[in-house]
Structure 1
């Protein structure tokens, strides 16, 4: 198993979250102090769990060093804490691991989160209510303080996991079996009541299963839609002449003020020309980077104005996205491009009509680096080097994010690119722009 893979990160983080802190420290405590009263041990348990969260995020940072890797580590650790491999440690107490994760990823959210938790604990005197309300505020706090879509998604999923694990506590409150703060616990056993009432957890689990199944089926459908299509598509360019060792490398979602200049430096040093499919709004924001792309002899294409998903847009709105971007690109660079690539490769019949009516060329790709998932530099390199063939149009990204048009981490693309170019040149491949590659097809 490769150490710099998401699976390895998720597995190790889950195991860290599953580690039975309470059982482990209990045995040490009793062995050294011979005491049965373990209340003094609780602060050490929470502190140990807190550092488990930090450790998982730092491990992902060390091995892959991308936001997605750290987010996966955070989620896996949280799941391990609540659904541990160790039966006696299932439904781990407290949110200390989550706070550790937040301390490493988004430290500024901890203070407002703790304030909300304390206020609702004082107001309701129920730990479950305070926990649920504070975690429901988590995505909003992240959005307000960071605005990064990936962390917002992580906040939503984490909040859902915490709420799901608090269902049992809500049942106890509803049945009068959960004491308020500083009250004594009732003597009636909760298990006896639960046998009589159907747990809502079963309904939630079924709902989550259906949602997961829908997401998987949708992903497989869209993957087939982008890479293969469902009918003859002579109007869509996916590759060049398969019999020649010509390839084209393309970059989507830029220009970006941080990563695009680094990529341009690499291309200039390697004497390679590429095609950049640029977002119109980014061209407006960073015109000097867009002009540099053209000045250094690279080709440019249209990637819509605001990177909206065109699949479900009307023809008029899709036209607006395409035409506005073309207008901005021409005003800034002086180039009127006829190449168009839809965001995420998703197009509709209306988009194809627009392309045909205005003599654009719809360009997709035959090989993706998968760098949009923020995998490691080694994985990006192997994805290209082990799968490349003559005529490939290769997809990279110099900007973009999982959901929005910007904010992604492209440092591993920058690390992998010179290695990829060097290896492919040694293997005899020649780099062309997309237009040159299409000419070779003819």
Structure 2
């Protein structure tokens, strides 16, 4: 788990640093920050959770920088860089939509707000990865709060929306930690839940479900190879599509793939 925390902390630091004033250089830098942060997190740890932590970190650093005297900066260009990394097509469509809306609405903030309303729809139609969908929803919530229009401010305060988003984010992170510790990794030292079968059976069926996972599955395969043990892996289609090399390794090392 510490690897994901490293990704989040480093991304937050990157988001807090490298500020430039107005102009094209500012937009180019912020776009690069969003794009390159996800690119580097993928090099470090190619995992959906890694991309999720990197996105949350860079957006938090951009909006609430720790190294700046100002309260923060808007995150629309950084968000576009993140989206462009996940899907260049979706990024181009969003950019073109913003340009059209800016000409129609004659207002930068309203154009950003109107554009961000399409992000959830495009995300569900574009991405198969759960983490990319969650990242898109985080971006949508962040931009909707930052660019909340004045006529809606009279009905619902953007500060209230921000507090709600932070609360839901913290709750989601705690749930993620719980699943990572007690579901994805198993129950650790709670040995009382392990049922010992009859001793006269010479064989046991060793199975692993819901893989392949880029972090845990290779570690499992390393242990099985070291102990010269074969197992059955029950895989999820979209995970296999994302990490076909792990499934290929299972077959090459003599394991069975169930369905």
Q: Same fold (TM over 0.5)?
A: yes
Aligned 8 A contact 2:52 2:132 in 1 = yes
Partners of 2:82 and 2:111 lie apart in 1 by 19
State the SS of the aligned residue for 2:23: helix
Q: Does 1:249 align with 2:206?
A: yes
After superposition, what is the alpha-carbon deviation per residue over 1:14-52, rounded to whole angstroms, capped at 9, x for unaligned? 211221422xxx6xxxxxxxxxxxxxx611111111111
The offset of 1:410, in angstroms, is 3.6
Structure 2 matches for 1:37-436, cutoff 5 A? 42-93=23-74, 95-167=76-148, 170-171=149-150, 200-208=157-165, 210-212=167-169, 215=172, 216=174, 239-241=195-197, 248-253=205-210, 371=213, 374-375=214-215, 381=219, 398-400=235-237, 409-410=242-243, 413=246
State the SS of the aligned residue for 1:252: strand
Aligned 8 A contact 2:9 2:57 in 1 = yes
The offset of 1:140, in angstroms, is 1.7
Aligned 8 A contact 1:9 1:69 in 2 = yes
What is the TM-score of this pair, normalised by structure 2?
Answer: 0.70
Aligned 8 A contact 2:83 2:90 in 1 = yes
Name the counterpart of 2:190: none
Aligned 8 A contact 1:18 1:86 in 2 = yes
Partners of 2:167 and 2:59 lie apart in 1 by 22
Partners of 1:219 and 1:10 lie apart in 2 by 14
State the SS of the aligned residue for 1:117: helix
Aligned 8 A contact 2:5 2:53 in 1 = no
The offset of 1:99, in angstroms, is 2.0
Provide closer, same or farther for how the CA distance between residues 219 and 75 of structure 1 changes in structure 2, counting only shifts above 3 A.
Answer: closer
Aligned residues: 246
Aligned 8 A contact 1:20 1:89 in 2 = no
Provide closer, same or farther for how the CA distance between residues 135 and 65 of structure 1 changes in structure 2, counting only shifts above 3 A.
Answer: same
State the SS of the aligned residue for 1:92: coil
Name the counterpart of 1:14: 12
Partners of 2:127 and 2:80 lie apart in 1 by 17
Partners of 2:113 and 2:198 lie apart in 1 by 56
After superposition, what is the alpha-carbon deviation per residue over 1:343-362, rounded to whole angstroms, capped at 9, x for unaligned? xxxxxxxxxxxxxxxxxxxx
Partners of 2:160 and 2:222 lie apart in 1 by 44
Please list every run of 5 or more consecutive structure 1 residues that lacks an aligned counterpart in the other structure: 27-40, 176-196, 229-236, 260-370, 386-393, 422-430, 432-442
After superposition, what is the alpha-carbon deviation per residue over 1:31-90, rounded to whole angstroms, capped at 9, x for unaligned? xxxxxxxxxx61111111111122211111211123442343233212221122223354
Partners of 1:412 and 1:83 lie apart in 2 by 39
Larger RCO (CA within 8 A; separation ≥ 6): 1
State the SS of the aligned residue for 2:206: strand
State the SS of the aligned residue for 1:87: coil
Aligned 8 A contact 2:84 2:92 in 1 = no
Aligned 8 A contact 2:75 2:143 in 1 = no
The offset of 1:217, in angstroms, is 6.5
Partners of 1:250 and 1:202 lie apart in 2 by 48
Provide closer, same or farther for how the CA distance between residues 136 and 415 of structure 1 changes in structure 2, counting only shifts above 3 A.
Answer: same
The structure that is helix-richer by fraction is 2
